[in-house]
Structure 1
């Protein structure tokens, strides 16, 4: 919603209104598509107020986002955020813990390269592709569990399928076998990401995840395995290439990013196909474009970026883009959901078109040196899970899709539940 009535020039706020001290829009939570449309109408770079009245620049067009995400004057380390240094960001601000954590997400230069190089080999295309058989096996087991509930049973595909798959995959990569631990980690991460979680509870969730990661490190030191946690411990213990805080912080970051993004991607893709059954029919009948499930995944990433916003970049000198001057020390947010609906890049950007030729030109995984390491894994999980689910079951919504409650989060972009009924296409004879 608009804070003030801006002066307009050809539908875009006049340059003199483009100051961080004069936000033109209040970003809430739960309506990423509505925010995207409003921000696109206001301009490519817009001053906004975030929950907690924290001011930031929102970048809403792809070409401007690409320029800023690769600009030599932009940094990720929050030490460059002037308002934070001046004590103007409250300790209770919902996103402060994630933005200030000692992770590669918030580092620049050699520090970023040092941490990223320790784990990026595990997430490049070849080792990720090697996970395909295991991901397919986990998917089959989850589908068997869904089938066991019986036809007509209402079930939540978000919690019973879209959550389960990526959480099991990331926990296997970490060497976490206990299902209770998986559920607790998911519950804590959900509380951490919700903008409505009370500050004390959010801090508790963050501390609980950190404690769980520290406990995991201790367990893997005592009993090493062939998992990613052990590999990171070896890098810490043998090469002294990361601190203990960085080790725990890296595990923390990958846990949040490794399951929340993919859970939202799967949920959004299933919902999109429920809303467009004719497109699903074409795919299942073999009459869609080549590699149709890739198209579904990329179009869902474009239309409904799993993380609506990418926090923060900070210029170390004044930077002018799209006619707007962003002053040094100002926080810059990449609005991935708005970029996915950029009408200068995508025709009819508010429509879901599973065969869209340029859907992959979204920025759901960021861009540049901080591009999401887990992009290959998220795509692979979705390209295995979605066809397996839809080829096995006829899926019908149990509630009106248009009335489903969105996640209560500034960044995490999906619905809170996806209640459906399932019927097997080819049930086994009794």
Structure 2
């Protein structure tokens, strides 16, 4: 934490900060942050002025820009607190009562991976009650009405949903930080048992020792997979993704922990599954010639390597401690960066539109920052902080991508 504070102060100085104002220039665009009356700030972004009112939490880092952006994050978090959510595909588009966090202004619903990553990064500590309620909205019994268990809902993906996309276990990444509530902890335990059992039967491939399914978050076919998957998603559903397997590993570790607390003999099994999965992840996704962990590999019959890398998968793997320390440091150091920060996938495709391809996503940059802290990679810590600040400052808002 001290390192981050020192770096932030240094960044503030580099950006022309004074006691009352700070300027940022990048690629011909300019932003200026100023203190305002009653503890607020004014952000003069390229799109116009943004007023930030005084917030419950206040930082004093020596960088007016950083402090203004910290206030802006709280202000926009408040805007995402809602009493009802809606989506055209659910409840005939009618509002559904839920004291939740909506995903965003244009996405007034709760999505499993969005709320889970946000909760793991910050929401679970800033508003644990509403975060729990948001996560609980993504739990469901089986549709047939008689299959026992509580299951985590899978978000849509390239193939529609589960099992082409199988990263719903990201829910447990968020839930593990909210177990101080006994009733919620019991729901987590119930959901772990049912969801892991279902995934073990449907998406685990014993021949390879990995879980099948699309990359977590990167769910737009030809954006990150071969172009021909636009019309045929079978390859995506039968392939193996690093990020999704790391999330399964984390869920298995949580299941092992909770099973021991409940005196459940399955704790040993969950632990053995996690150990075996970690070994396969390190063995099958590592590419020595690139000094990187691949984003995905081919299906069980042809588990060929693909020269595709993604920052979220790498960062999650570092944070889960599934990589040997030397490989983890080498992979993060080797991951490419551009002037604006760290792109979420590499290599980038010139013929594909900008979205995941050729995009910087702040939540992924935040995980990269965490991974850099874990590995004591000071240059990358500085780069990711600067990237996060720059993107928000120039947009005048916390956008999903830049």
TM-score by length of 1: 0.25
TM-score by length of 2: 0.26
Pick the structure with more helix per residue.
Answer: 1
Q: Say which structure, 1 or 2, has more relative contact order (CA 8 Å, 6+ apart).
A: 1
